[in-house]
Amino acid sequence: MAGTAQAETLRVATFAAPLSGDGPGLLLRDILSGDAAQIVAVQKIIARNSPDILVLTDFDYDLDGLALGAFSASFADPYPHMFALPPNAGMATGLDLNANGRLGEARDAQGYGRFAGDGGMAILSRFPILAGQATDYSGVLWKDLPDVTLPQLEGVPFLGDDALNQLRLSSTGHWIVPVALPDGPPISVMAFDATPPVFDGPEDMNGLRNRDELRLWEVVLEGGFGPVPDSFVIAGNANLDPKGGEGYRQAMADFLARVSLQDPLPDQPTADWPEDGPGDLRVSYVLPSQDWMIVDAGVFWPDPDDPERALLGEDGLAAGPHRFVWVDISR
């Protein structure tokens, strides 16, 4: 592993791998079976790239962490430290958030989800996670974000007071999770997974929410929610490309240009969708703070004639359309 073989170098990665089942407990079942092709492909890619800290942004949450524990144990060298919190995805609101006249659907949850815990986040680490010092911004209401722009339809607010007083900004979660390191102060992992800026209507609810999920980190970095982490890395799926695809692209471009951040992989796509659809887009990011030195970085995306292409499956998509994104950093 990068961190154990060379302690001064730390590999931080994120992977929006589709580790979500069709119902509660099914991810655990499939991990334990050992023969689910998609999960096996994901495991091989992670093992091949050997991250020290890994943020997974589509991993079903269960209260006892059974699925995450089983997933870690599936590696030849299991991850000793794990972290997950209940996601907003699948958390029932009891409201008709998409105004289609039906209650209890996936789009009526705090974040899109067919069941509680559907498509949550998780962190695996080679180094101790200081869980007691973690900060969770997942409960921040959308309406409470400074300078918020809320969806409207024909000049009328799309969300009523009942929704505004309950709807959280994070569609999945926003966490700051300190990880202890053997050669210096902890690093704060700022993990998130934003809603795609599509699958909505003329009110642009998902587009506006996607932009504000990114803006939440801007408020944090400007001290709007308290002390700013001294040494950090932002890792996760912004679901926003600064140059292509749907959404408020300039918001992503402006975020990447912040002086407190480093962007080791400019213009590198991280997802491979069909060309008659979104195409190749950059949506997942690992962005260290300026106090780190970038040693190396990459997106695991073997060429068609590369022998390692087999890890992605015969069609290159066995592990899903998203690619593994990693950055090696040192102090």
Average pLDDT per 10 consecutive residues for the chain, totaling 331 residues: 58 97 96 93 95 98 97 97 98 93 94 97 98 98 96 94 97 98 95 96 96 98 94 98 96 97 97 88 98 97 84 75 97 92
Q: What confidence score (pLDDT) does residue 293 get?
A: 97
Q: What confidence score (pLDDT) does residue 149 get?
A: 95
Q: What confidence score (pLDDT) does residue 311 get?
A: 82
Q: What confidence score (pLDDT) does residue 1 get?
A: 40
- Count of C-beta atoms within a 10 Å radius of residue 107: 17
Q: What confidence score (pLDDT) does residue 319 get?
A: 87
Q: pTM for the full model?
A: 0.95
105 token code pair: 């659907």
